[in-house]
Amino acid sequence: MTAAPPTAPDCRSGCTPDCTSGCAPGMNPGCVSGQALGLDPSASPTAVYGALLARKTGMLALLAVLLVAVVLAGLCAGASGLSPAQVLGGLARQNDFAATVVWQLRLPRVLMAALVGAGLAAGGVASQAILRNPLASPFTLGVASGAAFGAALVIVSGSMSRWLPAASAFCFALAASFLVLGIARIKRGAAGGSSVLILGGVAIMFLFSSLTSFIQYLGTEHEVQAIVFWAFGSLSKACWPEVAVACLMILPPLPLLLRVSWDLNLLAAGDDAARSMGVDVARLRAGGLVLGALATAGAICFTGVVGFIGLVAPHLARMLVGGDHRVLLPAACCLGAALVAAADLVGRTLWQPQIIPIGIMTSFLGVPFFLHLLLRRGREDW
């Protein structure tokens, strides 16, 4: 605190020998770190941080560009055989074939894919932060099984409504996460520790899964097929009204989560440490859980269970931009959106005119990418 004069050589107190040399073993060659930037080891800490932040922001911009590129590619690909020039022309016009294809079929679908990816990624970032567990995703907290049960319930009721399955899926997804939160409240009073949330989440997940299985057991063959198909995840029902409603559910939690990004950072240091630095941990946990569940439920209620993105997009983003939630959250959203849009693009073009459901494609596409980064990195998880 009463530091050496600003120009004094650093490491005056003799750090361990490896501190001035190169990378520690297990340092990720691609990650954002001082060594990777090739900074002068005598650079001031603030300068090092500034350079890191600049690089992270650059990476974030790159991810945004990637997202735009994937969305454009998604617009250009499809069964009707339009050329990219015709597609771009169709975007500007109305009332011709290209315009109809682009505006009524491709754009809502691609936007829905991007929205779903962003919502799942945001839910994943929030759950991993508040549960302080790299294996967590909103699905760990029972959100997906709640949604699947909600949809199954409406499907067996024989309703032909356009909105009812989504509304029911949304409500049950939120109900599942509130149940988990309630369990944690009972167990630990106001504090609600992370292990209680995880175990409660797993219990609720199995509860809703078995309820869904029970419905399938009772249902007709046709109903069972519909339930299973819903669980695959599909973008085929995405039209403008659905996109608009999904926007309203997925986007509002994002700035709210971004606003507490310092608190989410602090939570990684431990509950006690976070509280001692002024964070209301119980409130942050409950709020983060609800916001994450909202974004996730908004994402999956129209499309069905799109797995893997909620777990993997935060990890990929963390590998690329580090763990500061101020950058991590937008980066994960861009990556998740780009991943789902890309998975849909591949799913639509691989077997034309057959469309592989998005829930299947995300894992096909995401796993190799994820494993590549995982194996290239020295460290274990995050």
Partner 1 sequence: MLEVRDLRFAYNGADVFSGVDFAVAPGAVLGVLGPNGAGKSTLLRCVLHLLRPRAGEVLVDGRASAAMGPRERAALLAYVPQARPLKLPLTVFEAVLMGRRPHMAWRPSAHDLERADAAIRALGLAALAGRDFDALSGGQGQKVLLARAFAQEARYLLLDEPTSSLDLRHQEEVLGLVAETARERAVGALVAIHDLNAALRFCDAVLVLHQGGVAACGAPDDVLSARTVREVYGVDVVEVDCAGRRAFLPAGPPAPRAAETDAMRGGGTPCGNVALRGDGADVPAPSRDACGGAPRDPGARAERDRSYTNP
Does 52 bind partner 1 (CB under 8 A)? Our answer is: yes
Helical ranges in the chain per DSSP H = 45-76, 84-92, 97-100, 107-130, 143-156, 164-188, 194-218, 221-232, 240-250, 253-259, 261-267, 271-276, 281-303, 309-321, 325-349, 358-376
Q: How far is CA 217 from the centre of its chain?
A: 32
**In the range 32-51, which residues lie near partner 1 by CB under 8 A?**
33-35, 37, 39, 41-42, 44-46, 48-49, 51
Q: Which helix (H) or strand (E) holds 215?
A: helix 194-218
Q: Give the range of 14-22, 242-250, 304-312, 344-352 binding partner 1 by CB under 8 A.
A: 14-22
Q: How far is the CB of 187 from partner 1 (least distance, A)?
A: 15
**Residue 51 or 374 having the CB closest to partner 1:** 51
Structure tokens at 68: 């735009």
Does 135 bind partner 1 (CB under 8 A)? Our answer is: no
Q: How far is the CB of 262 from partner 1 (least distance, A)?
A: 6
Residue keyed to tokens 């190799």: 368
Number of helices (H), then strands (E), belonging to the chain: the values are 16, 0
Q: Give the range of 117-125, 216-224, 267-275, 341-349 binding partner 1 by CB under 8 A.
A: 267-275
Among 98, 266, 306, 334, binds partner 1 (CB under 8 A): 266
Among 106, 109, 132, 348, binds partner 1 (CB under 8 A): 132
Contact 66, 117 (CB under 8 A): no
**Residue 162 or 259 having the CB closest to partner 1:** 259
Site string for partner 1, 183-212 (x = CB under 8 A): ------------------------------
Does 20 bind partner 1 (CB under 8 A)? Our answer is: yes
Kindly compute the dihedral angle of the four CA atoms of residues 39, 44, 47, 53, in this order, to the nearest 10 degrees: 80
Helix (H/G/I), strand (E/B), else coil: 129: helix
Among 102, 110, 176, 279, binds partner 1 (CB under 8 A): 279
**Residue 221 or 272 having the CB closest to partner 1:** 272
**In the range 222-261, which residues lie near partner 1 by CB under 8 A?**
259, 261
Residue keyed to tokens 């998740």: 336
Residues 6+ apart with CB under 8 A from 363: 307, 308
The number of residues in the chain equals: 382
Q: How far is the CB of 282 from partner 1 (least distance, A)?
A: 11
Q: How far is the CB of 31 from partner 1 (least distance, A)?
A: 7
User: Is 221 exposed, middle or buried (CB count within 10 Å of its CB: 0-12, 13-18, 19+)?
Assistant: exposed
Core vs surface per residue 32-45: b (16+ CB within 10 A) or e: bbbeeeeeeeeeee
Size of the site for partner 1 (CB under 8 A): 60
**Residue 188 or 237 having the CB closest to partner 1:** 188
Contact 169, 301 (CB under 8 A): yes
Q: How far is the CB of 242 from partner 1 (least distance, A)?
A: 33
Helix (H/G/I), strand (E/B), else coil: 32: coil
Contact 310, 136 (CB under 8 A): no
Q: What span, in angstroms and rounded, lies between the C-alpha atoms of 208 and 48?
A: 49
Site string for partner 1, 303-342 (x = CB under 8 A): ---------------x---xxx-x----------------
Binding site for partner 1 (CB under 8 A): 1-4, 6, 8, 10-16, 19-20, 24, 26-27, 31, 33-35, 37, 39, 41-42, 44-46, 48-49, 51-52, 132, 134, 259, 261-263, 265-266, 268-270, 272-273, 275-280, 318, 322-324, 326, 379, 381-382
